[in-house]
């Protein structure tokens, strides 16, 4: 056992909130990672975090590195002397040491390698520790070794099994088969007194502020304090078979047992708290515990895999059979501030939540419920208990033990939709009924029912009644929102801007804003009376709204079919999902309640969630970002610090890891390639980042990661240089110029030497040589203006042609046509058939484009799978004719079921003479038309005319017409 050094500070309240195991029926949320997620083996012996931020998991079937997305396994032959990994240690220099069943390995400079030493080779290494001087100690089946320089030397008696090591006051404590030893680096050995124990019983040792701790096999835990040893029996520590002690970065003391789960004691704590199957753990066989840099608690189990405690301040209720059904439809106040009424799929539960959680009463068919599908339960000031089920309203009078059906005199709607008690104690019912859709009973017992509002709105089909803070009640019928003071019922405001025909969630927050939702979205009416549709609000990922409510800290909660969403007082929207401790993703219509203690209760189809906002802390730890690899066409570079690439390597696939584990599903990064991009790309999930067809030059890739709390890490910069092809290099141009000069000098000398004797022959020779020079220059010009794959004009040359057409000739520029062409489905060819197939498609496309144009038209490759066509002296009809032929282009690649077809989309402009445009305006107009074609499904063309506005030289677009 060894203490874990904290690399960065983190909020200690997180662990306290996660681990508090209050008595009763609550279950804490956990994430379990096992074989299906890529763990090499389910027996997890230890966990550590390296200097980059990766999580390392030691199993008895190999070593694994975890980045939050997937595991990367390491086995024998990849740097491990044995697949049985016993323990991990990150030293103060950032080096990760791995103890295995057959020696030691080390992860240094992002490489895993075995440690070769005659004292370690073939030895089962069980324990690792680092002393105050930074020396590494190793406990093996043959004794203790200490690292000096690059070697290891034995310390203390040889031949005994060492189970655990712990640095203590300038020395090292060792729990061995022969007892408890205190070892000094100079070789001094002291056998320390221990409680009377059977031989070979010690398994773990640690020292905390409470004293010296000993863990044993089957004999439990002992503490030496105040001069003597005392046992620490269950239930103070849940288990007697100790596997490991861990002192976490927070100072928390963990006891991992093989028969009672995990016990922990925070610094200064008076007692141990327990994590076991009783409160949600998948197993009670625990090997280790680890606190990472963000404060996440990771638990290694035997056979159960790697477990992570989820959800600060969250717990689950009703998921272990204590409720008649885990599907919770509604939550309402109980008979006191410390109890709730919970409506479920198979009855209702009166549930005590403080000081301990327990079921006080369950009501169902035996208690007179005609329908056990209970949607909502409310209590009136008179002590009546009203139940809304799928088909009927029923009531239980004070002192009665059974529910009664309503007498015919009560104007309850035939189809139940909602029930509520307002601030004045009046009872409201809403539903569908041919006679009336909303009914109210005042405190005197008098009923009042409405079939229409005072201003003529039909209210026979009401879905929601929502009490206001003013004492009035809001009523939703269809998309209309009405308000009533108990006497009058009138229209309250304009309908919200929601699709659909009804409102299913209605709520007024403490700021006076009105929230309305249905299965098509969410809208909010501001205090100035204007509605705002929130479907596009950043962070709101589901538009199927079930409930809206507010917690006491001013946060508005929206329950949806894909989790809950918190609209924080500052305006940010934050998801609340399974990773945050939600029992199930799908919420229910009445499944929200904020109790007087400030806690939030959420009903889902998979259980009841309890959440204490005060126990939730922002993740202030910036995430780490690592570029794991750069994939090139013919090779891959691991952990690149800079890239120096040839011309044929200008397509790069980066693998980017964001090492944030608190809520990895919401961790993201952004990217910007300086030299190509002027703005950041949108946030994206960790994974692939691809750049293709980079032009020669120098670039700098900037990457920046953010965690789920919006905390940004420092930028990571990766320099990239792409070399030009040989024919674009300076040396080639100099050599070509030198060759031309040498040729000219040679011709001149030959002419001078033979001038007197062969004047005519020299003239013919000069002519021949001049012709060769012209041909060489023509070839150079072709190479400089055409790109090799398609044989068409390259981007620079075609843009020069465009500028030439835009340049004034006399007093005005000449007319011409400009087409931008994009290949539909080209990326699928590259991804499915490979880049060679993509090159064939590009070449074929260029050929078909050339056949689609007129004899004197120009075809150039604009970039990637885009082409630019210039049509000199073309009017709109000529441009349209060419565009239509382009729109009919088809290129087929592959055979059989895997065959793919690539088509072309085209956007073009007919530029009138004297339009007075620059290339940016022409290209922007053509690109906008191309974008419209792509949005419409591709394979077609749109053409516009760019002509000068009357009295003004700049051109304006004329009416457009669709292509084929």
pLDDT of residue 293: 96
Distance between CA atoms of residues 956 and 945, nearest Å: 8
Q: How confident is the model at residue 213 (pLDDT cuts 50, 70, 90)?
A: very high
Compute the average pLDDT of residues 653-673: 95
CA distances from 152 to 116, 155, 164, 427, 777 (A): 10, 10, 18, 80, 71
Most confident option among 444-448, 823-827, 921-925: 444-448
**pLDDT averaged over the chain?**
90
Q: How confident is the model at residue 60 (pLDDT cuts 50, 70, 90)?
A: very high
pLDDT of residue 264 exceeding 50, the answer is yes
Distance between CA atoms of residues 497 and 501, nearest Å: 11
pLDDT of residue 19: 38
Percent of residues, the chain, with pLDDT higher than 70: 95
C-beta separation of 458 from 495 below 8 A: no
C-beta separation of 586 from 559 below 8 A: no
Of residues 298 and 780, the one with the higher pLDDT is 298
C-beta separation of 541 from 562 below 8 A: yes
332-346, 578-592, 872-886, 937-951: range with lowest mean pLDDT: 937-951
Of residues 242 and 810, the one with the higher pLDDT is 242
Q: What is the DSSP string of 96-140?
A: EEEEETTEEEEEETTEEEEEP-TTTTT--EEEEEE-TTS-EEEEE
Question: Which DSSP category does 314 fall into?
Answer: E
pLDDT tens for 367-400 read: 999 999 999 999 999 999 999 999 999 999 999 9
pLDDT of residue 811: 55
Of residues 157 and 718, the one with the higher pLDDT is 718
Distance between CA atoms of residues 447 and 459, nearest Å: 16
Distance between CA atoms of residues 724 and 255, nearest Å: 62
Secondary structure of the chain: what % helix, strand, coil (to 5)? Answer: 15, 40, 40
C-beta separation of 926 from 879 below 8 A: no
pLDDT of residue 22 exceeding 60, the answer is no
pLDDT tens for 748-779 read: 888 887 777 776 676 677 688 877 788 777 77
């Amino acid at each position: 056992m060894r203490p874990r050094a904290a690399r960065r500070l983190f909020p200690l309240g997180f662990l306290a909130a996660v681990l508090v195991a209050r008595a009763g029926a609550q279950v804490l949320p956990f994430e379990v990672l096992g074989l299906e997620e890529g763990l090499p083996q389910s027996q997890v012996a230890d966990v550590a975090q390296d200097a980059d931020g990766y999580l390392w998991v030691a199993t008895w079937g190999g070593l694994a590195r975890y980045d939050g997305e997937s595991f990367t396994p390491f086995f024998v032959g990849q740097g491990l002397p044995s697949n049985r990994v016993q323990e991990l240690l990150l030293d103060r220099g950032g080096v990760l040491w791995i103890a295995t069943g057959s020696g030691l390995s080390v992860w240094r400079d992002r490489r895993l390698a075995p440690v070769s030493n005659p004292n370690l080779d073939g030895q089962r290494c069980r324990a690792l520790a680092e002393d105050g001087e930074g020396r590494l100690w190793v406990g093996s089946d043959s004794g203790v070794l200490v690292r000096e320089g690059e070697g290891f030397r034995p310390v203390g008696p040889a031949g005994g099994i060492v189970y655990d090591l712990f640095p203590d006051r300038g020395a090292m404590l060792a729990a061995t088969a022969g007892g408890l030893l205190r070892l000094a680096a100079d070789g001094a050995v002291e056998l320390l007194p221990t409680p009377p124990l059977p031989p070979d019983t010690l398994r773990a040792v640690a020292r905390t502020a409470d004293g010296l701790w000993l863990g044993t096999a089957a004999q439990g835990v002992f503490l030496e304090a105040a001069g003597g040893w005392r046992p620490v029996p269950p239930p103070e520590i849940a288990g007697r078979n100790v596997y490991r002690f861990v002192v976490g970065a927070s100072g928390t003391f963990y006891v991992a047992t093989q028969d009672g789960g995990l016990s922990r004691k925070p610094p200064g704590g008076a007692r141990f708290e327990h994590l076991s199957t009783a409160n949600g753990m998948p197993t009670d066989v625990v090997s280790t515990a680890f606190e990472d840099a963000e404060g996440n608690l990771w638990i290694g189990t035997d056979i159960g895999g790697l477990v992570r405690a989820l959800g600060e301040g969250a717990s689950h209720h009703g998921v272990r059979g204590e409720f008649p059904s885990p599907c919770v439809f509604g939550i309402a106040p109980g008979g006191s501030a410390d109890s709730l009424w919970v409506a479920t799929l198979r009855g209702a539960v009166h549930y005590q939540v403080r000081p301990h959680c327990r079921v006080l009463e369950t009501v169902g068919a035996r208690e007179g419920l005609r329908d056990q599908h209970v949607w909502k339960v409310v209590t009136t000031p008179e002590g009546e208990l009203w139940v809304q089920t799928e088909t009927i309203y029923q009531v239980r009078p004070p002192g009665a033990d059974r529910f009664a059906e309503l007498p015919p005199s009560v104007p309850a709607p035939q189809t139940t939709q909602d029930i509520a008690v307002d601030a004045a104690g009046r009872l409201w019912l809403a539903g569908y009924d041919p006679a009336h859709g909303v009914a109210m009973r005042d405190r005197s017992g008098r009923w009042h029912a409405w079939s229409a509002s005072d201003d003529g709105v039909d209210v026979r089909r009401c879905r929601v009644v929502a009490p206001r803070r003013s004492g009035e009640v809001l009523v939703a019928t269809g998309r209309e929102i009405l308000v009533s003071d108990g006497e009058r019922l009138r229209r309250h405001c304009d309908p919200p801007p929601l699709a659909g025909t009804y409102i299913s969630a209605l709520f007024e927050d403490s700021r006076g804003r009105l929230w309305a939702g249905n299965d098509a979205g969410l809208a909010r009416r501001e205090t100035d009376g204007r509605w705002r549709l929130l479907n596009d609000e950043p962070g709101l990922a589901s538009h199927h709204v079930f409930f809206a409510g507010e917690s006491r800290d001013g946060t508005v909660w929206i329950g949806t079919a894909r989790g809950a969403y918190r609209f924080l007082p500052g305006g940010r929207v934050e998801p609340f999902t399974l990773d945050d401790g939600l029992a199930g993703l799908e919420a229910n219509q009445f499944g929200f309640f904020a109790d007087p203690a400030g806690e939030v209760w959420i009903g889902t189809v998979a259980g009841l969630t309890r959440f204490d906002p005060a126990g939730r802390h922002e993740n202030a730890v910036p995430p780490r970002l690592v570029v794991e690899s750069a994939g090139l066409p013919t090779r891959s570079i691991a952990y690149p610090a800079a890239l120096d690439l040839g011309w044929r390597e200008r397509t790069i696939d980066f693998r980017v890891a964001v090492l944030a584990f608190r809520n990895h599903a919401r961790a993201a990064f952004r990217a910007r390639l300086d030299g190509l991009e002027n703005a950041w790309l949108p946030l994206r999930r960790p994974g692939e980042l691809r750049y293709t067809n980079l032009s020669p030059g120098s670039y700098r890739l900037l990457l920046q990661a953010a965690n789920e709390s919006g905390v940004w890490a420092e930028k990571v910069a990766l320099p990239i240089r792409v070399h030009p092809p040989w024919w674009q290099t300076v040396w080639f141009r100099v050599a070509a110029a030198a060759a031309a000069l040498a040729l000219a000098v040679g011709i001149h000398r030959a002419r001078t030497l033979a001038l007197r004797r062969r004047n005519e022959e020299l003239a013919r020779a000069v002519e021949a040589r001049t012709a060769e020079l012209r041909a060489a220059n023509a070839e150079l010009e072709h190479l400089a203006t055409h790109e090799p794959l398609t044989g068409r004009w390259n981007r620079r040359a075609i843009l020069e042609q465009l500028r030439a057409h835009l340049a004034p000739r006399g007093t005005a520029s000449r007319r011409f046509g400009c087409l931008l062409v994009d290949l539909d489905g080209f990326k699928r060819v590259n991804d499915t058939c490979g880049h060679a197939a993509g090159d064939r498609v590009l070449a074929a496309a260029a050929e078909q484009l050339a056949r689609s144009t007129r004899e004197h038209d120009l075809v150039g490759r604009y970039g990637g799978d885009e082409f630019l066509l210039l049509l000199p002296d073309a009017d709109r009809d000529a441009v349209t004719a060419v565009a239509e032929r382009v729109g009919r282009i088809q290129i087929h690649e592959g055979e059989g079921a895997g065959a793919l077809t690539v088509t072309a989309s085209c956007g073009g402009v007919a530029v009138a003479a004297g339009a007075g445009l620059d290339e940016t305006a022409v290209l922007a107009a053509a690109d906008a038309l191309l974008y419209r074609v792509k949005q419409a499904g591709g394979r077609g063309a749109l053409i516009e005319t760019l002509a000068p506005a009357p009295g003004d030289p700049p051109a304006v677009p004329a009416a457009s017409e669709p292509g084929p």
